[in-house]
Amino acid sequence: MRGSKPGERRGGRQKGTPNKRTVEVQQRLTELDCDPIEGMARIAMDASNPPELRGRMFAELASYVAPKRKAVELSGADGAPISVQQHERLDVAVLDRDQRDQLRALLMLARAE
């Protein structure tokens, strides 16, 4: 039987192997004794550069050491909007001792569930 099974890979580059163009660029930068990361760091650290340029360099450098966060979309059950309930704040100082004990017991029951 010919062909590959579903999910099976045959031939091609191994995972993590740079492509031909990437290797060429890396070799050329090495020949020129050029380190782009070092260059960006020098620009970012040079206080005489405009703040906007320094900020862009710092942001670009940060992408090499910290993952970019993805936006997360929240929804309720079955994609419905999330409902938010707002409750008035209860001032327990106005409650007498029996009322506070009853409230405490209710809260303990709610936590147990």
Q: Indicate the residue type of 61.
A: L
**65-78: per-residue pLDDT in tens?**
888 888 888 888 88
Q: How confident is the model at residue 1 (pLDDT cuts 50, 70, 90)?
A: low
CA dist 12 and 6 (Å) reads 16
Print burial letters for 9-35: b (CB count within 10 Å at least 16), e (below 16). Answer: eeeeeeeeeeeeeeeeeeeeeeeeeee
pTM here is: 0.47
Stretch 7-29: mean pLDDT: 85
Q: Give the number of residues written for the chain.
A: 113
How far apart are alpha carbons 29 and 36 in whole angstroms? 8
Angstrom distance (rounded) from CA 113 to CA 50? 58
Q: What is the mean pLDDT of residues 80-94?
A: 83
Q: Crossing angle for the helix pair 51-65 and 36-45, nearest 10 degrees?
A: 140
